[in-house]
Structure 1
Amino acid sequence: MVVKAVFAFGDSIVDQGSNNYVATIVKCNFPPYGKDFNGGMPTGRFSNGKTPPDFIVEELGIKDFVPAYLDPNLKIEDLKTGVSFASGGCGYDPLTATIVSAIPLSTQLNQFKEYIGKLEGLVGEEEANDILKNSLFLVVAGSDDLANTYFTAGVRLKKDVNSYTDLMVAKASEFVQELYNLGARKFGIFGVPPIGCVPSQRTLAGGPHRVCSEEYNEAAQLANTKLSTEIDSLSKKLAHSKLVFLDIYNPLLDLIVNPQKYGFEEVDKGCCGTGKIEVTILCNKFSGTCEDDTKYLFWDSYHPTEKGYKILVDQVLNKYVNQFF
């Protein structure tokens, strides 16, 4: 069984450069981002190097990188093997993208419809359907809903965390069903990471010692429990679908709790600047970077290093890849 293409939707973990082409503050198409990517190119990937979609297509033997759909230099060939529609700052909650002017999931879906039209023009309707049916659809969102919209911006605080996570999961479910209706069949839906332990959230919510925020982590676990249950029920409902909930919470937490096992020395701050708060425009050519990013789990205060991503992707693929077939 061959995976023909990989598509990504959601947030900055799988944004391959979409935000370069929209008016948002959530950008990273400047140094030191991308310093280890393809000879040191800032591409709009939120890391020093490759990100999960790149490692996934590489491991599946499809190609070396997943480009952003919005890239004006997109090659025709890439339409057949997968692109990313994801946008840093996006969430399941439509408000999340609005706050930072990122591309919401509804627009990502419209771009996917436009993409299908282009693919059909290229290979014909039958082959296009076949490609979609045998592709892997990655959906990664939820961190920004909790970290940015719920806890930091506070715009949804009229809701308690229980009803807010219900809203997130209802929107996630709607989105997956829309993709299914457009021809997607194999879904890898990433859970929310332990957001209370990422460096910026330790700084904002972890007190003077910058410990992991239990409150944030509990919210992430609650969202994951609900999302996992919803995905199970959807997979029974949607004929010929393979929907797999990918737990990222526990593998990332293990990297944070047992860094030496993986060769990391720093897990509570990023490599960029002080590592405590710098992310996107605050991590720039004036920030300075750590001496050896392979010893750091986090590149900036919110996103893992290439090495961190590689370890996580390897673990996720080893654990789940057989469930897609």
Structure 2
Amino acid sequence: MSQRVPQNLPFFCLFLLAFLLPCNSSTSERQKHEHKIKGMFVFGSSLVDNGNNNFIKNTIANVDFLPYGIDFPFGPSGRFTNGKNVIDLLGEHLGILSYIPPFTDPSTKGKKLVSGVNYASGGSGILDDTGAFAGNVMNLNAQIRNFESVTLPDLEVQLRSKSRESLPQFLFVVGSGGNDYSLNYFMGMVNSNVSLEEFTANLTTTFSHQLKRLYNLGARKFALMAINPNGCSPMARASSLTRDGCVQHLNRAVHLFNARLKTLVVTLRAQMPGSVLVFVNSYKVIRDIIRDPASKGFNNTGTSCCEVATINEGGTGILCKRGGSICKNRSSHVFFDGLHPTEAVNLVIANKAYASNHKAEVYPMNLKQLSEI
């Protein structure tokens, strides 16, 4: 709540008031951490994509149209939500003053690199063949190759230092894996004899190798995003005719991956000396909202805020219909479209990631503590 000052207040009172009024907390936080985290490099899929697919041809995983971005300062930007995604909100917490630019934007070069780059691509996965359904998207291996071969040489020029010296000052956020289940395993793209447990073990092993690649390039601070409870999404509920609850076999798969991901935080730190890895359990954060929405300011947990384009209409059953109808009170909805959360939910996740002291939500520390290391 702002504190208003009468215009006729004597000048000396205004001078005194300047010392008595409390400072803006977000500003003081930014100032406190402005020399801790220089920026972010972001890898993953649609939950952290901020526009890369806008510049990729032959993909159906594109959201450069309304109602996406209806609450974003610059309108539709390629973010899979109504406003800011979790990366934007984490950046605000960490004092990063500009939006992280998408890699595929031709203008992302030179001075634009100094706050980091976002490589995430909606529809992509940890495995190379995941995302074939979505078309020409960048899988996680391709994202890391782009980081190494294109960004790093330019970044060294801009920062006038070797990447191994500068990269420890950046946060590496990785949010991938959900599509490896929904657009790969459960679509029958793997051998039918491969069990869910075997698939998950292979997936996390592949993921650990990818994290080690980033480490070998100089990354030291990592935030690993859990897969969200996709079995609770409107798309999952509609396709299984389950309206009142979540699709448990989908959530079970996600839970298996998240449990292994949390374990990786411990095992990889021993294998990657000097690294710090944080597991952000967005699965639990969203499940807690769904179980008790009213206490957290939500009242719609099962349907999408926007009108979703069905398969019969040429859509995917996930994305909003271009120019379609939209709910008025978007902050009360958990899901914006058939899969992706609203900005309101992204804000809860970002706040928890940055400041929660509950190990079940963020492990082994929060990102505020990580930024102070």
Q: Secondary structure of the residue that 1:268 maps to in structure 2?
A: strand
Residue of structure 1 equivalent to 2:154: 118
**Residue of structure 2 equivalent to 1:102:** 137
Over the matched positions of the two proteins, sequence identity in percent amounts to 32
Q: Counterpart in 1 of 2:181?
A: 146
Aligned residue runs from structure 1 range 6-17, under 5 A: 6-17=40-51
Show CA shifts across 1:64-121 (max 9, x none). 4222121123364330111100000111122213332310111101110110011112
Q: Which runs of structure 2 are paired with 1:7-86 in the superposition (5 Å)? A: 7-22=41-56, 23-39=58-74, 41-74=75-108, 76-86=110-120
The structure with the greater share of residues assigned to helix is 1
Name which of structure 1's ranges 229-238 and 10-19 shifts more when overlaid on structure 2.
229-238
> What residue is the counterpart of 1:309 in the other structure?
346
Cα-to-partner distance string for 1:6-34 (whole Å, 9 max, x where unaligned): 11101001111011111211000111111
Question: In the alignment, which residue of structure 2 is the partner of 1:193?
Answer: 228
Partner of 1:289: 326
Please say if 1:202 is aligned against 2:237. Answer: yes
Change (3 A) 1:281 1:25: farther
Could you report, residue by residue, the CA deviation over 1:234-282 in whole angstroms, capped at 9, with x for unpaired residues?
Answer: 1011111011222111111011111111211111011111699876885
TM superposition score normalised by structure 2: 0.81
Q: Could you tell me whether the CA contact under 8 Å between 1:272 and 1:300 is conserved in 2?
A: yes
Query: What is residue 20 of structure 2 aligned with on the other side?
Result: none
Instruction: Look up the SS of the partner of 1:188 in the other structure.
Output: strand
User: Matched residues in 2 for 1:281 and 1:166: separation?
Assistant: 27
Seen in structure 2, the aligned counterparts of structure 1 residues 161 and 281 have a Cα distance that, compared at 3 Å, is closer
Q: Which amino acid aligns with 1:89?
A: G
Unpaired runs of 5+ in structure 1? none
**What is the TM-score with the length of structure 1 in the denominator?**
0.93
- CA-based RMSD of the aligned residues comes to 2.0
Query: Deviation of residue 293 (structure 1)?
Result: 0.8
Counterpart of 1:44, as a letter, is G
User: Are the counterparts in 1 of residues 308 and 318 from structure 2 also a CA contact under 8 Å?
Assistant: no
Number of equivalent positions: 321
Distance change in 2, residues 1:307/1:275 (3 Å): farther
Question: What CA distance in whole angstroms lies between the structure 2 residues aligned with 1:280 and 1:130?
Answer: 45
Contact 2:82 2:342 in 1 (8 A): yes
Unmatched tracts of structure 2, length 5 or more: 1-34, 357-365
Max radius of gyration: which structure? 2
| Residue of structure 1 equivalent to 2:39 | 5
**2:256 partner letter:** L
Report the counterpart of residue 172 of structure 1 in structure 2.
Answer: 207
